[in-house]
Amino acid sequence: MEQSDATAVAQVRAGNPDAFRVLVERHSRHVFRLTFRMTGNEHDAEDMVQETFLRAYRQLHRFDGRASFGTWVYRIATNCSLDLIRARKRREVQQPQVADEEGKEMAAAAVANDPTPERLAYSGELQELLRAALEQLSPMERTAFVLRHYEGMCIEDISRALGVHAGAAKHSVFRAVQKLRRALEPVMGPAK
Amino acid sequence: MKHLSEDDLVLYYYGERVPGVSAEEHLGSCAACRTSLESLRQTLDAMNSLAVPEPVENYETRVWQRVYPAIEAVEIRRRRWFDWMFGQRKWVLAGAMALIVMGAFMAGRISQKSQLKVAALSGQVRERILMVAVGEHLERSQMILIELANNETKGLVDISEQQVLAEDLVNENRLYRQVALKSGDKSVSNLLDELERVLLDIAHSPSKLDSAEFDDIRRRIEAEGILFKIRVVGSNLKARERGRVRQGQSKSL
């Protein structure tokens, strides 16, 4: 019979670190999808998956079981990725010209040759454009958007995961959508 | 007729409650807002096509293989820490026992005097045990902070070891802070409050920091002046303890 998350957690707490394997194997794919959307690249996403499970293991004594282990570990993954993209933004601030130029070139390349949404949808160019659009968001906006749009979390849950007021979480989603619409205007047309 | 704002449409798209209006009703009768919603829907639906690479086969096993050595290292460090703590606790317990025996002896000697004096004495004994424990706690915290402050900052700095220790200290710290607060010792409870924030900061940082991030943590520790405060309160506790010992000796003479 498949072992439940709660049983595995209890076993780890009782001094059996091997029981943690069940939790890693059950949740790592979903955590990877989340960290990939947050960080935008495979290498960082892989690192964040490891960091998430290591942090979860070390903080397991704080897991009170009110939420499911999955929800708790995704929250850790969100915070790990948020830390990483914040650090990345800080580094980018130190070299703003290079990052800005690269972003513009990427967007320009993606919308070159009079593209139509239909054509782009089947090419890697749209992927590049979508990634570039996400890169323009602040760490908080990106996190709030990923949690709302891809993870389907409601504003209340996002605010709890990020430790901010519901109003702040909601406005981060609004700002993210505004920026994405502006960034995608060349292919989607202006907002009506 | 007042149209729905873009924010209202975003909420509607995600199935969240739109405050103050019935978006469904409005959209049924307003073509302009329906067009705006369609335009928003196109952009947000396009975001769904952002591909996520499918992890390799046996991905879960590979993640476990990479995580397991780090978990083992955590366990080894925890055991070492526990052994060290147990060694220290032995002395604290021995001290506490000695104080209780001494208290009982004193209580016996003054048994003719009122029960109130005995209660006051046991209160003093409890406070002394607490002060000894807090003093040791501050020393251990100081060790971690000094270790962090003196870390090499070339390349990535691994602070995972200090994080494990900081996490353990946070729990102890919380307990001591509450006791200090109850006993009305403001200087100690304020310091423990500040220390708790610094320890939490360390425990919640990423384990590997680049030099800029590490400098940031170091600057925050320095800005709080926490090391200086620990030294001051630590030496006050020692002075208080020495004073009590001298007082006890002069009384017994």
Work out the pLDDT band at B245, boundaries 50, 70, 90: low
Dihedral (CA of A132, A133, A139, A144) sign: negative
B42 touches chain A (CB under 8 A): yes
Start-to-end C-alpha separation, chain A: 54
User: What is the tens place of the pLDDT at every residue in B93-133?
Assistant: 677 777 777 777 776 666 555 555 545 545 666 666 777 78
User: What is the tens place of the pLDDT at every residue in A71-89?
Assistant: 999 999 999 999 888 888 7
Residue A103 pLDDT exceeds 50: no
Token duo for residue A127: 């992927």
Question: What was the pLDDT predicted at A120?
Answer: 53
Token duo for residue B120: 């006051």
The mean pLDDT of chain B is 79
Domain positions in chain A are 1-94, 97-187
Q: Do A87 and B206 touch (CB under 8 A)?
A: yes
Question: What was the pLDDT predicted at B103?
Answer: 75
Do residues A143 and A162 touch, judged by C-beta distance below 8 A? yes
Please state, for a pLDDT cut of 70, what percent of chain A lies above it. Answer: 80
Burial class of residue A64 (count of CB atoms within 10 Å of its CB; 0-12, 13-18, 19+):
exposed
Q: What angle do CA B148, B154, B156 make, to 5 degrees?
A: 75
Question: What is the C-alpha separation between A76 and B151, in angstroms, rounded?
Answer: 27
- Residues on chain B touching A59 (C-beta within 8 angstroms): 167
User: What is the tens place of the pLDDT at every residue in A106-130?
Assistant: 444 444 445 555 555 445 777 888 8
Token duo for residue A116: 């139509």
Closest Cβ–Cβ partner in A154, A170, A180 for B47: A180
Domain positions in chain B are 6-47, 97-252
Scanning B108-127 for CB atoms below 8 A from A yields none
Q: Considering just the CA atoms, what is the radius of gyration of chain B in Å? A: 30
Question: What was the pLDDT predicted at B1?
Answer: 65
Average of per-residue pLDDT across B203-209 = 78
Question: What was the pLDDT predicted at A53?
Answer: 95
ipTM of the complex: 0.78
B223 touches chain A (CB under 8 A): no
Residue B161 pLDDT exceeds 90: no
> Which has more pLDDT, B179 or A60?
A60
Question: What was the pLDDT predicted at B208?
Answer: 77
In this structure, chain A runs to a length of 192
Q: Do B60 and A87 touch (CB under 8 A)?
A: no
User: What is the tens place of the pLDDT at every residue in B37-54?
Assistant: 999 999 999 899 888 888
Q: Tokens 């706690």, residue?
A: B137
Chain A: give the shortest CA distance to residue B22, in Å.
Answer: 19
Average of per-residue pLDDT across A37-61 = 92
- Mean pLDDT: which of A85-94, B17-26, B158-167, B222-231 is highest? B17-26
Q: Do A188 and B64 touch (CB under 8 A)?
A: no
Scanning A116-135 for CB atoms below 8 A from B yields 117, 121, 126-127, 130-131, 134
Residue B90 pLDDT exceeds 50: yes
Closest Cβ–Cβ partner in A36, A127, A155 for B16: A155
Work out the pLDDT band at B203, boundaries 50, 70, 90: confident
Question: What was the pLDDT predicted at B31?
Answer: 92
Average of per-residue pLDDT across A56-81 = 90
CATH 1.10.340.30 fits A97-187, yes or no: no
Do residues A55 and A76 touch, judged by C-beta distance below 8 A? yes
Provide the H-helix boundaries in chain B.
6-13, 23-29, 31-47, 59-109, 115-149, 160-182, 186-204, 211-224, 226-252
CATH class of A1-94: mainly alpha
For residue B179, CA distances in Å to B65, B86, B88, B103, B185 come to: 43, 22, 20, 21, 9
Report helix, strand or coil for A190.
coil
- Cβ neighbours, 10 Å, residue A102: 13
Helix (H) or strand (E) holding B157: strand B157-158
